[in-house]
Amino acid sequence: MNPDMASAFVNPRFEDVVELFRRSLAEGMVMILVGECSVEYKGRGVASLESGSRIVIAKPDGSLLIHAATSVEPVNWQPPGSKLEIRIEDDNLVLSSTRKAPYENVIARFISLSLVAVCKLEIKPRFKVEIGEEAIREAVLAEPSLIEDGFKPISIEKPVEVGFIDLYGLDRDGRLVIVELKRVKADVEAVEQLKTYMDSLTDSYGSVRGILAAPSITYKAYMKLKEFGLEYRKIDIAKCISILTSRRRQQRKLGEYYGDKS
């Protein structure tokens, strides 16, 4: 079988899996196991899973994933940098993945295997684009009226004692405005975060306005916001995206014009 491609074996013998592991994982391949296993975890917490049918994926970076039939989240896992060992013990195929600092160990005990597969995945990361909070900030900087007419952003990510302010600037009357941006519905925590920033600034700056900018806000959060004398500004995410895409299109044109290939 072409070693650059995948190999797969149905109902493999445990001995063959151990052998396959030695030959493939060392070569930076991914190994996929399907079968009945129990799982024990010890480390930051403890967890113990009775035997059940699961998919186990061992990646070349040391990540280990144990998935059941449902859910996006693995029922158990081990982070990158962990070291995997495979052995046969009491007629079971035992995978033991360990990392130190903090010490963590996962042991999966297979009583039966219906499938093992190995395959090579290129590690080189590919290009990825995303719209996140950072992108919304970009959009507001490009179009400050998204916050309010006359708003002039001064800088982003001003460090204050307690953390980082998303965005701040001056309103049309020259008053300092602190803006907390949220990509999703704002909750009480977002309000408290803004309040904390406000408190740490009013000491030194006197009157400051605080604006929570988000696509929506929970009822409790809105009540708390009013109680604190802060303001809510609805942000249209779709508008942010269209602002960004048109802006990025222009930048690309500029880049091409100047021969910028970065």
Query: Where do contacts with DNA occur on this chain (CB under 7 A)?
Result: 41, 43-45, 47, 63, 71-73, 76-80, 100-101, 104, 106, 130, 132-134, 162-164, 166, 183-185, 187-189, 218-221
Pair 134, 164: CB distance under 8 Å? no
Name which of 62 and 144 has its Cβ closer to DNA. 62
| Contact footprint for a second copy (CB under 8 A) | 1, 5-11, 28, 30, 32, 34, 44-55, 57, 59-61, 63, 65, 67-72, 74-75, 77-80, 114-115, 117, 119-132, 162, 183-184, 188, 192, 196, 241
CA geometry: angle 167, 246, 215, nearest 5 deg: 45
Name which of 125 and 174 has its Cβ closer to DNA. 125
- Return the closest-CA partner of residue 108 out of 156, 166, 171, 57: 57
Burial class (CB in 10 A: 0-12, 13-18, 19+), 194: buried
What residue 145 binds from DNA, a second copy, none (CB within 5 to 8 A, per partner kind)? none
Q: Hey, what are 33's tokens?
A: 């196991």
Q: Hey, what are 83's tokens?
A: 């070291």
What is the spatial distance between Cα 260 and Cα 258, in angstroms, rounded to a whole number?
Answer: 5
What residue 26 binds from DNA, a second copy, none (CB within 5 to 8 A, per partner kind)? none
Name which of 79 and 153 has its Cβ closer to DNA. 79
| Smallest distance from DNA to CB 27, Å | 22
What residue 241 binds from DNA, a second copy, none (CB within 5 to 8 A, per partner kind)? a second copy
What is the spatial distance between Cα 113 and Cα 19, in angstroms, rounded to a whole number?
Answer: 15
Name which of 16 and 73 has its Cβ closer to DNA. 73
Name which of 89 and 133 has its Cβ closer to DNA. 133
Burial class (CB in 10 A: 0-12, 13-18, 19+), 220: exposed
What is the spatial distance between Cα 64 and Cα 81, in angstroms, rounded to a whole number?
Answer: 10
What residue 69 binds from DNA, a second copy, none (CB within 5 to 8 A, per partner kind)? a second copy
